Amino acid sequence: MFSLQQKHAVVTGAGSGIGKAVALLLARQGAQVHVMDLNEEQAREVVREIEAAGGKGTVQVADVSNQQQVAALFAALPGVDILVNSAGISHVGTVETTSEADLDRLYQVNVKGVYNCLYAAIPIMKRNKSGVIVNMCSIAASVGIPDRFAYSMTKGAVNAMTLSVAKDYLHAGIRCNSISPARVHTPFVDGFLKKNYPGKEQEMFDKLSKTQPIGRMAQPVEIAGLVLYLCSDEAGFITGCDYPIDGGFINLNN
């Protein structure tokens, strides 16, 4: 089950965090993974890990917000069977503390970046009459999260794009879904705590973990497991859906 043999998978933001975990797992299941990231050294390290485990990977350096770079990258690939839009950035702030520059920066990566990859990948998938897309959404698109105005805005857009693509390309053999994690323990979290709570990192980590009803943050590999399922033939009847993977945050946090 969950074999991805003979599949070409593009994973954006695959140099670290959730994207890295997704790239490693898809490669382990047989896909040739095109590790797409802005940071070339991180992408190379992920490919080294993939190859050390006996898998196949390539380094693909591009800024997802730059349509020309994205288009050139996809045009040079041998194929695209799977696209996982995992690249994303965050911002802490209310509408009053979110500057125009902050809003534009998040839009460029989290919204336009997803659009650019969809725009480049879908024509390839249409020619093959098959393809799978998984977009990284967030619980922030479904519930109110304090101090996440701009981030929540972008994830609401990702949710809407997922539904639109799923509807428009249903008869082209393309499936499109999204997943909505709650807090995940990634290098971003560690960096955020180090910057904002020096000397109190563990205390704040424990506090953030306890905001999840299950009592902890998710591990990136747990998110990757759901991505793998949605990319596999076993999920062939699923499209146009968002899957919370949130430790009970949406339904049990009361």
Same domain, 160 and 198: no
Q: Please state the separation of Cα 200 from the chain's center in Å.
A: 29
Q: Is residue 30 part of a domain?
A: yes
Instruction: State residue 187's pLDDT score.
Output: 87
Instruction: State residue 35's pLDDT score.
Output: 98
Instruction: State residue 254's pLDDT score.
Output: 64
205 neighbors 241 (Cβ within 8 angstroms): no
Q: Is residue 119 part of a domain?
A: yes
Of 107, 115, 151, 243, the catalytic one is 151
Q: Is residue 236 part of a domain?
A: yes
Same domain, 213 and 132: no
Listed in sequence order, the residues at least 6 apart from 53 whose beta carbon sits closer than 8 Å to its beta carbon are: 24, 27, 28
Kindly list the distances between the CA atom of residue 230 and the CA atoms of 178, 235, 238, 243, in Å, as whole numbers in the listed order: 9, 5, 8, 10
Same domain, 190 and 100: no
Please tell me the total count of domains within the chain.
2
Q: Is residue 159 part of a domain?
A: yes
Instruction: Please state whether 200 falls in left (phi above 0), alpha (psi between -120 and 50) or beta.
Output: alpha
Same domain, 195 and 89: no
d(CA 178, CA 168): 16
Same domain, 146 and 36: yes
Q: Is residue 254 part of a domain?
A: no
Buried/exposed 175-194: b ≥16 CB within 10 Å, e otherwise: bbbbbbbbbbbbeebeebbe
Q: Is residue 1 part of a domain?
A: no
Same domain, 137 and 191: no
Q: Is residue 253 part of a domain?
A: no
Q: Is 151 a catalytic residue?
A: yes
Domain region containing 124? 8-182+220-248
Same domain, 114 and 78: yes
DSSP symbol at 83: E
Same domain, 112 and 62: yes
Containing 142, the helix (H) or strand (E) segment is none
Strands (E), the chain: 8-12, 32-37, 56-61, 82-85, 131-136, 174-181, 242-245
Dihedrals phi, psi of 148, to nearest 5 degrees: -135, 40
pTM of the model: 0.96
CATH assignment of the domain containing 102 = 3.40.50.720
Same domain, 122 and 69: yes
Same domain, 145 and 237: yes
Instruction: State residue 237's pLDDT score.
Output: 98
d(CA 109, CA 1): 34
Q: Which residues of the chain have pLDDT under 50?
A: none
Same domain, 19 and 116: yes
Same domain, 22 and 136: yes
Q: Is residue 124 part of a domain?
A: yes
d(CA 159, CA 110): 11
74 neighbors 121 (Cβ within 8 angstroms): yes
Residue keyed to tokens 């288009």: 71
